Amino acid sequence: MTRENSTGPDFQSSADAAWDELEAALAERLAGMTADDLAIIESLEAVELDGASPYVQFCAWETTPGLTIRAEAVSNHYLDATRRLNPGGERELESLGFNHPTYGAGDEPDSGSANWYVDLLAEDAEHLADMTVRAFRRAYGVAHPAFLTADGLLPDAPHEHAAAPVSPPAAAPMVAIVDSPDALRDLTATVLEELLGQPPHRDSDGDFLVPSDHGAFWVLPAPDAPALDLTATVAADVSDTSLALLEVNRLNRRDALVQHTIVDATVMAHLRIDCAPFSDVHVRNQVAHFRVALDEAIRTLTETLEAASVEQARHRRKQAVATLTELVKGELSGDTLPLDPAMVGEVCGRDQDTVASLLRGTQSQLTRVRRVLATGRGSHVDHRKEELLLRQRQLLRQALHLTIADAACS
């Protein structure tokens, strides 16, 4: 049976039970299919779409090994523009075992499909039902089977033998058709207040700013569909955009619902919540998921970039030490022109921390060399090294004063 991570205990336990019931019913239906049988599960839509809504369809035929069932999960060739799979959703279908579409909507058909597809024997019905449920939940972002129609597979009333509740039932989920952005904002405000335990902050446009443990994100009506857009800045002014892009790709592979992007050295997170129809439990669940995902992205990206920054700083210091040592040697031997503090500052990238770090390292080395010389066992090499370190210390002290003065003036 399929179990997903919980982001809202009451709703999630109810959703898990409903998905399990659908999965069991679907497995039974698939196992009982005969040649040429057809079945389909599709998403309910409150508004008419130009393209298809999410669906998975099944057909059966006889083969030498036994009855074979093909399952086709709709691809972007047919999905409505507002329902299309993002790259994370497509990766999810691939990881579940669906094959990529083999031709386009208007192309000559082959033995594959224009949809995502998989061929399994009827004896694998339970596995196929599990794949189907996971596809709806993980790839298409359907929060509850209540948003599906499935040829009678979805029970619409409790079983006659079901036990009577021992406590009052929870309030029924609220489902509504929204006909304007203002109506969507009003419904969203109620959900966010329940989630946060207090009225959410609203700006002058009526959009909501929702805090998380490590950041905050905006919740606002989508401009082109009955939906909510959740957006947040994960990291700004990123210096190592190549490393950030690698981490963004990892985040997108881990979460098929939240899309992370990097634009102009800023990493953003985005999630669109379908509100046709509006369901309070669905919106609450998705907002809670985004809140957790945002904090995880901020933590992961910060740790990765800070670790890289420390390693880069260490590498820069090693390079600066090697370059400065060679320059001082050249100056002392008369092979190069005399050094000046400004040049030393350039070698250190005009970075005060780098200059200070090299100065501390130089002083430490000088102390060790002088201890050796104090024993009377020092060699010519040690005396030469002391001379080099003394000159290096002098230049670094002067360069440090320059960088401090530059910082004060900037």
Q: What is the model's pLDDT at position 309?
A: 52
Tokens 């569909």 appear where? 225
Residue where a domain terminates, one of 289, 307, 325: 307
Is the residue at 375 inside a domain? Answer: yes
Same domain? For 147 and 33 the reply is yes
Domain check: are 203 and 143 in the same one? no
Tokens of 271: 């999630």
pLDDT digits (tens, 9 = 90+) for 199-217: 988 888 889 998 888 888 9
Tell me what pLDDT residue 9 has. 47
pLDDT of res. 163: 37
Verify that 111 and 187 share a domain, yes or no. Answer: no
Average per-residue pLDDT for the chain: 82
- Of 296, 278, 92, nearest in space to 174 by CA: 278
Q: Are residues 57 and 135 in the same domain?
A: yes
72: in domain: yes
Report pLDDT digits (tens) over 222-252: 998 889 999 998 888 777 778 888 888 888 8
| Res 146: pLDDT | 79
Q: Which of 329, 326, 322 is nearest to 361 (CA)?
A: 322
Residue 188 lies in a domain: yes
Question: Are residues 140 and 195 both part of a single domain?
Answer: no
Token readout for 270 is: 């985005």
Q: Does the residue 325 lie in any domain?
A: no
Q: Is 299 found in the same domain as 185?
A: yes
Please check whether residue 35 lies inside any domain of the structure.
yes
Pick from 285, 307, 329: which residue ends a domain?
Answer: 307
Q: Which residues pair with 119 in a beta bridge?
A: 70
Residue the block writes with tokens 């698939």: 30
In a domain, 161, yes or no: no
- Whether 19 and 285 have beta carbons less than 8 Å apart is answered as no
- Cα four-point dihedral sign 76, 80, 84, 90: negative
Contacts (Cβ under 8 Å, ≥6 apart) of 224:
82
Judge if 247 and 301 occupy the same domain: yes
Q: How does pLDDT run along the chain (410 residues), one tens digit per residue?
A: 443 443 444 556 667 888 898 999 999 999 999 988 888 899 877 567 788 889 999 999 998 888 999 999 999 998 888 888 888 889 999 999 999 999 887 788 888 899 999 999 999 999 999 999 999 998 988 878 878 887 655 544 333 333 333 333 344 457 788 888 999 999 999 999 988 888 988 888 889 998 888 888 999 999 988 899 999 988 887 777 788 888 888 888 888 789 999 888 888 999 999 888 888 888 888 898 898 889 888 888 887 776 555 555 666 677 778 888 888 888 888 877 788 888 888 888 878 888 888 888 899 888 998 998 888 888 888 888 899 999 989 999 998 888 888 777 76
SS (H, E, C) the chain: CCCCCCCCHHHHHHHHHHHHHHHHHHHHHHHCCCCCCEEEEEECCCCCCCCECCEEEEEEEECCCCEEEEEEECCCCCECCCCCCCHHHHHHHHHHCCECCCCCCCCCCCCCCCCEEEEEEHHHHHHHHHHHHHHHHHHCCCCCHHHEECCCCCCCCCCCCCCCCCCCCCCCCCEECCCCHHHHHHHHHHHHHHHHCCCCEECCCCCEEEECCCCEEEEEECCCCCEEEEEEEEECCCCCHHHHHHHHHHHHHHCCCCEEEEECCEEEEEEEEECCCEEHHHHHHHHHHHHHHHHHHHHHHHHHHHHHHHHHHHHHHHHHHHHHHHHHHHHHHCCCCCCCHHHHHHHCCCCHHHHHHHHHHHHHHHHHHHHHHHCCCCCHHHHHHHHHHHHHHHHHHHHHHHHHHHHHHC
Q: What CATH number did the domain enclosing 228 receive?
A: 3.30.1460.10
User: Is residue 271 a part of any domain in this protein?
Assistant: yes
Does residue 147 sit in the same domain as residue 193? no
Cross-strand pairs, 260: 269
Looking at residue 245, what is its pLDDT?
Answer: 87
Whether the CB-CB separation of 261 and 248 falls below 8 Å is answered with yes
Range of the domain at 303: 175-307
> Counting beta carbons within 10 angstroms of the beta carbon of residue 376, is it exposed (0 to 12), middle (13 to 18) or buried (19 or more)?
exposed
b/e for 300-327, b at 16 or more Cβ within 10 A? ebeebbeebeeeeeeebbeebbeebeeb
If we measure between CA atoms, which residue out of 72, 66, 40, 73 comes closest to residue 123?
A: 66
Residues 369 and 299 in one domain: no
Q: Are 291 and 352 in the same domain?
A: no
Give Cα separations from 281 to 81, 136, 175, 218 (angstroms): 25, 17, 9, 19
Q: Does any domain span residue 4? A: no
Q: Please tell me whether residues 33 and 112 are part of one structural domain.
A: yes
For position 135, what pLDDT does the model report?
94
Domain identity same for 114 and 66: yes
Q: Total domain count for the chain?
A: 3
